[in-house]
Amino acid sequence: MFQRRSRFAGVALVRGPLPLFGPAFVAAVAYIDPGNFATNITAGSRYGYLLVWVLVASNLMAMLIQYLSAKAGIATGRSLPELCRDHFPRRTTKGLWAQAELVAIATDLAEVLGGAIALQLLFDIPLLTGGLITAVVAFALLGLQSRGARPFEVVITGMLLVVLGGFLYSLVLGGVDTGAAAAGLTPRFEGTDTVLLATGMLGATVMPHVIYLHGALTQNRYERSTEKERLGLLRSQRVDVVAAMALAGLVNLAMLVVAAQVLSNLAEPVETIEAAHAGLAETLGPTAALLFALALLASGFAASGVGTLSGQVVMQGFLRRRIPLVVRRVVTLAPALVVIGAGVDPTQALVISQVILSFGIPFALIPLVMLTRRRDIMGALVNSRLTTAVAATVAAVICLLNVALIVLTFGGV
């Protein structure tokens, strides 16, 4: 039994896990952002089912990492940036904040570009105008926060389901080669290009901004004054994380399967999101292409709103400062609009944004593992030795793969 905070009637009793769902579904949006569209479609169209195992491994890692972030918030009532500020030297905290702001800009670039591309596909709107529309919609989504956390979570979850629905339609029409999909669960590569792509898929899976955000999403929602209440809340949040990450994993898998089944046999190779849209229209019909564009639009809108919210959490946590959301939006949006206005190839810009994001992953993962292993911080919710060992291994693998991504990308392999 939990006591849930109510803005209308003080504290009410809540039974069962379902009323506690929500934070992980907001975080899950980052796992199906426009950058994932680019990497998953490229993987499926070029190499078929070969890299299915990468998505499965990525999803399992994501479940653990987001669970630890939620657990830290439940145990301490503080977000990861706040915990870093409390327990790390001031110079380290400022350094972490600076790189987190760079991550926020790269995140905005990917999401705004995704929304802009979708609007161009749907309505032939210029990319720059589409980017501005995406920013305005994202800001409107954040306005739902004034009504409490639940309306924002419901809308974001609804957009996640729009993305899922768009790809399930194409999945049903295109079919699945179950034998090839099963074979794709065996880890293997076919040349250095597949190593690079697999590294990009895995490196882009864990988004540092939602590692910072997830703990904050569990704050000020439910009474947890005793260890028993915190342990019970953690059990419910574990279900929330598994359900949300499984849904995000299903979306990513559907992206890859549709690309492998439908787009890999086209006369021209699929190198861009626009080409994927055209390929779906050619093979599965206009409805599939329309739903693909709507899924991309929902992804861009939702992920952009979540990215802006995480930016506020980062600044408030590391620096104890808040700035108006409009100012915050302008600061992180400006570089994205400059890139769009300069005429940079959208798909290439998405890839570059994922490389920039990879720089930020170690700075979120390593502190998360360090802090959740400390009993003086976590109390009864401290990680077990096994959890710490697994989390440290996951962090090391992801960090190494992101280093490889950077080296391979800029090394011209």
For Cα atoms 133, 280, 262, give the angle at the middle one, nearest 5 degrees. Answer: 135
> Nearest to residue 380, comparing CAs of 227, 215, 226?
227
pLDDT score for 381: 92
> How many residues comprise the chain?
413
Distance CA 239, CA 256 (A): 26
Q: What is the DSSP string of 341-382?
A: HTT--HHHHHHHHHHHHHHHHHHHHHHHHHHHT-HHHHGGGP
Both tokens of residue 293? 């564009």
Give 51-66 pLDDT, tens digit per residue.
Answer: 999 999 989 998 999 9
Within 13 Å, how many C-alpha atoms sit on residue 151's CB side? 9
Judge whether residue 341 has pLDDT over 70: yes
| 255-282 pLDDT, tens digit each | 999 999 999 888 787 878 999 999 999 9
pLDDT greater at residue 409 or residue 369: 369
Of the pLDDT bands very low, low, confident and very high (cuts 50, 70, 90), residue 369 is: very high
The whole-number pLDDT of residue 13 equals 37
The arithmetic mean of pLDDT across residues 109-117, rounded, is: 88
The pLDDT-based confidence of 250 (bands split at 50, 70, 90) is very high
pLDDT at 93: 93
Domain count of the fold of the chain: 1
Predicted confidence (pLDDT) per residue in 150-189, tens digit: 788 888 889 999 999 999 999 999 999 999 999 999 999 8
pLDDT exceeds 50 at position 413: no
Has residue 38 got a pLDDT over 90?
no
Average pLDDT of the residues in 189-218? 81
pLDDT, greater one: 204 or 217: 217
As given in the structure block, the two tokens for residue 329 are 């939006």
Task: Give the chain's end-to-end CA distance (angstroms, integer).
Answer: 55
Neighbours of 352 (CB within 10 A): 17
Whether this model's pTM surpasses 0.85: yes
Scan for tokens 């926060």, then name that residue. Answer: 145
pLDDT at 223 (0 to 100): 60
pLDDT, tens digit, for every residue of 71-107?
999 999 899 999 999 999 999 999 999 888 888 888 8
pLDDT value at position 338? 85
8 falls in which pLDDT band (50, 70, 90)? very low
The parent domain of residue 385 ranges over 2-410
How far is it, in rounded angstroms, from Cα 214 to Cα 265? 40
Check residue 68 and give its pLDDT. Answer: 95
Q: How far apart are CA 244 and CA 251, in angstroms?
A: 11
pLDDT at 135 over 90: no
Residue 377 has pLDDT above 80, yes or no: yes
CATH code of 154's domain: 1.20.1740.10
